[in-house]
Structure formats: structure tokens, C-alpha cells
Structure 1
Amino acid sequence: MSVTVEKLDNLERKIVLALNWEDIRAKVNARMKLAQKRARIDGFRPGKAPLRIIDSMYGYGIRDEVLNEITHKAFEELIVAEKLKVAGLKSLTALEDADQDDEKVYKIAVVFEEFPEIKLGDLSIQEVTKFSTEIGDAEIDKTVNILRQQRTRFNHVEREARNGDRVIIDFAGKIDGEIFAGGSAENYPFLLGKGQMLPDFEAGIAGMKEGDVKEVSVTFPEDYQSKDIAGKTAIFTITLKNVSEAVLPEVNEEFAKSLGIEDGDVQKMRAEIKKNVSREVNRRVSEMTKDSAINALLAATPVDVPSSMVTEEAKTMAARMKENFAAQGMDQRDLELPLDMFNEQASRRVAISLIMGELVREEKLEPSEEQVRNVINEFADSYEDPQEVIDWYYSDKKNLQAPTSLAIEQNVVDYVLSKAKVADKVLTFDEVMGQQAQA
């Protein structure tokens, strides 16, 4: 077997393999005879069909299979012999040169991509933001209030409806005197003043009492989701059938027990809430700091990413999205997600992986067993039986891959923070928690 190596654009390389035809024919013949023994063909005893018939039925597939196997084996041997750093295989193309001696060799061009040479950049000129936040009594009070709202009860009242009440209504809407699709409902419940309905609609209900009937004029926004009624004005006839006011539970022994505090101690409850909230807040600010550090690493180290790796990552992302759709009960069997929609994020992920891998090797940032154990302990701490979770991770080495990766990421972040220009930024509880922190 002779070898020719050619550099193409960027990371692409081409190797022309000259495979021995005798080896190919020998393997094809052996595979053909094996197929002959197994074949069950009408008109012939089992295993006795002539080879020419086996060839006509299975020959093309057998030859293609053998050529594929021999080519891949030869390429793998060449990778080892030449110490090639192959990132991905691009194509296999048979060559039909005029001067090729078809009796001796079969030439095939293998186009592949090499891993890029990565030269880590200067992190000292990069800026990284290190995020943090503080959890005090005010943040715990806010979280307690959110938990109270999640356990809201609604009691029937005989008064006018006001914001915060749950109302039950019948309504029928008309545009230019005609009923329109989606404009009517019976026994429809919603929370008044929470933006669940259009502002004009809710404003018309405020002040009504149970049993009242009222006509309310509502103009739909120009960008309303239903184009047929966008920008039009409807007249709704609304009948208020029930008004119930929100009643929040008291923060007492019973409330604490509902949150899993067996003895109902409110102070224990607050301490547990602080522990859980602090864990979540720390996770979020750590992710924000990590993103900033990774951005600095990418800015300092430009790298060409192999398109074959980007394609594979995009395929993985598309598959995960379809799995998520399926988990949500959505029918995704015939859903085809274009890979282009994932390319940008896939390219970033591949670049991060390559750069981080080089940084870990060069700076010896592999995590210690203690670091991996700390990651596992922190994760297990949120479960009812932490030791059961810890035992699961250590029951199989494969289970340690995820916590090991997280420990590596933290080592990389710590390294970047030690080299770059770091700006500390303290965020409020609401900024970290977003909508969940709104009381």
C-alpha cells in the first residue's frame, strides 16, 4: 500500500490509499461463499445456489461492505503509523485514474480534518466579571412569601371584584355584531389584575359583584396573535358568577410542617430555606462567572474548528431537542430540525472543548479525587438521602464522568480568574433569580 498526503483548505487533508486488489477479491470471494452457504433461494437446496446467482443478488452489497471495511482499516493503521490527529472523516471517493493498474491496486481518496494547533492566548489582557450576591433575612422573607403564594387558598366573598381576586365569568364577544371564534366561554376562571386577560377586559370586571352583567368594549392590539381580530374592537357581555379572595397561609408551625420540617420549628424552616436558596443562588452566579471566564478564554485563543466536529455536535443538539419535545408530550416523530439552526452554538461548544482540553493538558488542571468528591457531595446534599446518591456515583466509573467534567470546568475557571483582569459585581437577589424572585 502506497500513500500520498495532500493539504487542502484549512484543516482538511487528503490521503490517497492504494489497496491491493488481491486482498479485496479474496475477502469478497470469502464473503460471497459465506453468503452462498446461508442463502435460501427458491429452486435450489439450502446452500447450493450457484455463485453467479449469489453474485447477482448480493454481490454489489458485499463488495461495498468489503471495500468499506478494508479502507477504514487501512486508514486506521495509517493514523497510528503517521501519528495523525484526525478530528473527523469527511469523505471516501474511489479514483479512476487513466494510468491506474486495475489488476493490482484500488485507489481511494480519503478526505479528513485534523485537530487544529491551539496556541493559548494571553489572558492577562482579558476582562472577566466575577459575580456574587448576598442572602440575608430580606431574601429569605421574599422566598417565604413566594412559598406562601404557591399555597394560596381562595375563599368566596360577597363584594365587588378587585385585583388579586380569582373570578369566574361567562363572556360572549362580538365584532360588528357578529360572534367570532374564541370570543366566548363559560365558567372561565382567572386572577384579576395579573395580566392574564387584556387590560380593557380586566378593567371592565373590576368593581363588578357576583351576578352582575356588563358590556365591556375591548380593542385588540395590532400585533395580537390572532390576525383575524388584531386591531379590531369587540363588545363583550360579561356575567360575573363568583368572586374569591386570596388567603395566604400564616407562617407558623403548620406552614413549616408543610415544607417538611417535622417539628414545625419556624426558625429551622428559615434555616433550611436559606440553605436551599443559597445553593441555588451560588449555582447561578457560578454559571454566570463561568460564562464570563469562558468568553475571555475564547477571545484570547482564536481557533479554527473542524466542520466535521461542528456537524456532529449540531446533530447531538438536535437529537436532544427532539428528546425534550418528546418528554413534554409533543409529537416529534416526523420533526426534522435543520442543523443550520444549531451551527453557531455547536461551533462555540467545539471551540470551548478544544481550548479547554489544551489548557487542561498544558497547565495540568485535571481535578483531584477530593475535588470530584466535593462536586458529588454538593449535588447529593439536595436529596433526601445524600448517601444513596453518593453511593450511586461511586458504583460505576462511568457515573463519575459528569462530576469530573464539572470539576475540570471549575479548575479552568479558577485558572482564568487567576490570570485575567477580574471585576467583582454584586447582584441583587432579584437579578439572580429573575421572575422567580418577584413577590
Structure 2
Amino acid sequence: METNIQTPGDAAGGLLRELHVKVPADRVAQAIDERLRSMAHRAKIPGFRPGKAPFKVIQQQYGPGARVDAVSELVQRTFPEAVMKTGARPAGQPNISIIAEQPGQDLEYTATFEVYPEVQLSGLDTLEIEQPVVEVTEADVDRLIENLRKGRRSLAPAGRAAAPGDVVKVDFDGRLDGETFAGGQGKDVEIELGTGQFLPDLESGIAGHAVDETFEVPVSFPEDYRAEALRGKVAQFSVTVKEVQAVTLPELDDAEFLKAHSVESPDALRAKAREALENERGKAIQRRQKAQVMEQLATRNPLEVPKALVESEIPQLRQQAAGRMNMQNVPPEKLAEMLPAQLFQGAAARKVQLGLLLGEVVKLKQIKLDDARVEAALDSLAADFEQPDQVKAYYLTKPEMMTGLRAMVLEDQVVDALLSEARRTETPMSLEQLLNPKPAA
């Protein structure tokens, strides 16, 4: 078998390869002969008992179909052989084109495919990482407990005009220069006054009005509002109040409230809240440092990535986006139309790039998967559920889920190895700054 691999002329320097393969005619003939003989044992031809027809009759009856099948099988069998001879590393499935396959002649075909890029790591010894230094304060604990109380709140008709802290139900109709605009209308919309759910002018304009009142509120849109047509504009909203409900929070020593959080006293609740915040602090610091490592690794090691691998990542990213948007039940075809592939090209390319770079770090530093860390990661994941043992058992019966968990643990081991050599700068910050960082301008 002859092989020849080259980079197509219009893809010089890229990852595309064209492999030319020539399979000797005698091997083709042998493959066709073997297929015909296997068919002869079960062939049913008029005038002959099953399996007793002369081979020449079998050739006449089934020869063309046997040739098509044999050629297809030869291509599938010889492509891996040919690739191995060239030493290429295909990324994705090849595109096969038959050049010649006439009786008595060699079989010739080309296989066009992308290859994995050559990875030469650099900059691993110069990583600079910001190390957050964060204290969990009593004020942080107070905020969490207040949020827990709000989560168990009760609502009752206020019997008065709306005030900050109330939950109101309203209809509204916004107009700009007398014309309606997208997003400016709503019916039975619930607003908790004072929480910043809606524009400040609208919330403050509702305060002081009672059920069944209809009134006008001028609302100013900020200069950086998401809808460009409304930026810096003032719209008139007609608002009708339909309900005003006062919010009552449970007392800290309320038995049902404490029971809901599996504690018996306010002090025990504070201790549990502090522990939860400290755990979240640790996870957030780990996430932030991992993000820094990944960003610097990618920036210092630009890499052309195979388009086939990028395309294979897009369906998973689309499904993750659908989950965040509560679109899990949308049919795949419709989902692909609503969330087209180009939305995920950049993220998919970055994911492939980082996967290739991390794989190279694993080889360079000879990192082995730590089974104890896999077990600990499974315990941590299951602990977030009411029946952790059942969750663990479920994971252990799902090979694909355990494969994903092991990949995550190995990735964390790579990050830890890189962090151990990085230069760290301690940066004091509040817990709020750590958990809710402001996006870069």
C-alpha cells in the first residue's frame, strides 16, 4: 500500500492534511473474492439449491454490489493503516474521495482531515496570580441570615399605600413620545419595592399609592441602558396598583425557621452560616485562581485549533446555555435555530485550546489522576443533595458522568501544579468583592 500526505496548497501552514492512498489491485480483488464467497453460502438463486450455485453465477449476480461493499470496507480498514505510516494525528473524521476503483486497477482515494497542532508550552514559570485574602465578618454572617429569613418570608395584604419593602402587583404601560416600545408593557407584574428589580424612578413612583390607584410616572433610562433606543430617554408610564402586600420575616428564634435549617438555636444557625460562607470563600478563591491560570496559559500559548474539535464542543455549550435559560425541553432542531453555532464559536475554540494545553502540561509534569481526590470530589458533589448516598450510587453507575468528574479532578490537579510554581500577590478584599466581582469595564 502506497501513501503520501501533504498540506493542501490553499492551507499552507495550517492543520488541514490530504492523504493519498493507493491499495494494490490484487488486495482489492482478494477483498471482493472473500465477500463473494461469504455471500455464496447463503445466496438464493433460482434453479440452484441455497449455497450450491456455481461461483461464476455468484459473481455475475452479486459482483457489482460486492465490489462497492469491498471498496468501502477497504477504505475503512486501510485509512488507519495509512495514517499510522505517516505518523499524522487526525482530529475528527476524514472526508474521503475515491479517485480510482476500476476492475483490475489499484484502488486510489484521498482522505482530507485536520491534525492536532504541535504544542510547545511557554511561560509556565512566569505565571503571576492574585491571591485573595478574605475575612468572613459578622456583617457577612448577618447578611446571609437576613437572606435566609427573606427566603422564609410571609406576605399579607397591607391595607395601606405601598412602601419600600412591600411586594406590589401592578399593570404598567410605558410610552416614549406617545408611542409604545418593546418591554414597556406588563400585566400582574410583582415588584418588591426597594430591591432595584426595576428602574429606580418606577419603584419610587409606585411608593405611596394604594390598591386600585392609576397614575402616571415619568421614568428616566440610564445612559448605559441595555436597549440603545432608550438610553438617556424619559418615558411616561401609566401604572395601576392591583395588590400591596406587607412582608413579614420570621424571628431568629422561631422554631419552624430554625427547624427548616436543621438547627436548634440562633447561635447554632450563626455557626452554620459562618461555616457555609467560609466554604464558599474557599471555593470562590479556587475558582478565581483557576480562571487566572487558564487565562494566562491561553494568552501565553496561542494555538490554532482543529475546526472539527471546535464544532464537536458546540452542542454541549448550547445545551448548557439552554439549561441556564430554562430551555431544556426545546427540541434540538429548534434550539439550534434559536441559539446558532456562531454564538459559541469563541467559547468552543477556547475550550479546545485549553484542553490541548492542559493535556500537554499533564505529559510534561507527568501528572497522574489522584483517585482519592476523585472520591472526595464525588463526596462534595453528593453532599449538596438530600440523599448523598443515592447520588453517589447513581454517579458510579454512569460511566460518562464519572469520566467527566475524573476530567474535572485532573484539570484541578494541573491547575494546582501550575499554581505551585506561580508568583502570588496577596490582595485583601471583602467577601462581597470576592463572590460578586464587578466585570471589567
TM range (shorter): 0.7 to 0.9
Change (3 A) 1:309 1:224: closer
Instruction: Look up the match of 1:109.
Output: 110
Matches within 5 A, 1:305-344: 305-318=305-318, 320-321=320-321, 327-330=327-330, 332-334=332-334, 335-336=336-337, 337-344=339-346
**Alignment partner of 1:2 is 2:2:** yes
1:144 maps to 2:148: no
Structure 1 position 91 matched with structure 2 position 89: no
| Per-residue deviation, 1:18 | 0.9
Is contact 1:322-1:332 (8 Å) kept? no
**How far apart are 1:408 and its partner, in Å?**
1.6
1:399 offset after TM fit, Å?
A: 5.0
Instruction: Map 1:163-182 onto structure 2 (within 5 A).
Output: 163-168=164-169
Q: Structure 1 residue aligned with 2:71, among 42, 67, 81? A: 67
Distance 2:68 2:435 in 1: 57
- Please say if residues 36 and 51 of structure 1, whose CA atoms lie closer than 8 Å, have aligned partners that are also in contact: no
Q: Distance in 1 between matches of 2:404 and 2:179?
A: 60
| Equivalent pair of 2:217/2:239 in contact (CA under 8 Å) | no
Decide which moves more: 158-167 or 141-150.
158-167
Corresponding residue SS for 1:419: coil
Does the 8 A contact of 1:21 with 1:104 survive in 2? yes
5+ long unaligned stretches in structure 1 = 41-45
Q: Please give the alpha-carbon distance, in whole angstroms, between the structure 2 residues aligned to 1:13 and 1:172.
A: 60
Once the two structures are superposed, residues 150-179 of structure 1 have per-residue CA deviations (whole angstroms, 9 ceiling, x without a partner) of 222223334332122223456778999999
Separation in 1 of the partners of 2:216 and 2:375?
63
Counterpart check, 1:350 vs 2:342: no
**Residue 260 of structure 1: aligned partner:** 262
Deviations 1:410-439 (A, max 9, x none): 22112212223222334322223339xxxx
Cα deviation for residue 52 of structure 1 reads 8.1
Shift of 1:77: 1.9
**Partner of 1:43 in structure 2?**
none
What letter corresponds to residue 357 of structure 2 in structure 1? I
Deviation at 1:143, TM superposition (A): 0.6
Q: Is the 8 A contact 1:126 1:300 kept in 2?
A: no
Deviation at 1:305, TM superposition (A): 2.0
- Give, in whole Å, the separation in 2 of the partners of 1:23 and 1:36: 20
- Structure 1 pair 267–35 and aligned structure 2 pair: CA distance change class (3 A): farther
Within-5 A mapping of 1:38-437: 59=65, 66-95=70-99, 103-168=104-169, 189-196=190-197, 199-210=200-211, 213-218=213-218, 234=236, 236=238, 238=240, 240=241, 242-252=243-253, 253-261=255-263, 264-318=264-318, 320-321=320-321, 327-330=327-330, 332-334=332-334, 335-336=336-337, 337-393=339-395, 400-434=402-436
Superposition TM-score, scaled by structure 2 size: 0.77
Amino acid corresponding to residue 289 of structure 2 in structure 1: T
Letter in 1 for 2:287: E
Paired letter, 1:348: R
The alpha carbon displacement at 1:333 in A equals 3.5
SS in 2 for 1:13: strand
Instruction: Tell me if structure 2 keeps the 8 A contact 1:201–1:216.
Output: no
Question: Hey, what's the Cα distance between the residues in 1 that align with 2:182 and 2:291?
Answer: 47
For 1:404, the aligned partner's letter is R
Measured in 1, the distance between the counterparts of 2:5 and 2:226 equals: 61
In the aligned structure 2, how far is the partner of 1:389 from the partner of 1:182?
42
State the 1:363 CA deviation: 0.8
User: Once the 2 structures are TM-superposed, how far is the Cα of residue 145 of structure 1 from its aligned partner?
Assistant: 0.5
Deviations 1:23-71 (A, max 9, x none): 546656876898999999xxxxx999x9989899xx5xx7665433321
- Superposition deviation, residue 85 in structure 1: 2.5
Q: Which runs of 5+ in 2 are unaligned?
A: 45-49
| Superposed displacement of residue 362, structure 1 | 1.8
Supply the AA of the counterpart residue of 2:359: G
Question: SS at the partner of 1:362?
Answer: helix
Q: Secondary structure at the match of 2:368?
A: coil
| Structure 1 residues 315-363: Cα deviation after superposition (integer angstroms, max 9, x where no partner) | 4434554576675444553343443332222221111111111111121
Q: Distance in 2 between matches of 1:23 and 1:162?
A: 88
Shifted more, 303-312 versus 177-186: the winner is 177-186
Comparing 6-15 with 163-172, greater Cα deviation is found at 163-172
In the superposition, the TM-score normalised over structure 1's length comes to 0.77
| Distance change >3 Å, CA 135–CA 83, structure 1 → 2 | same
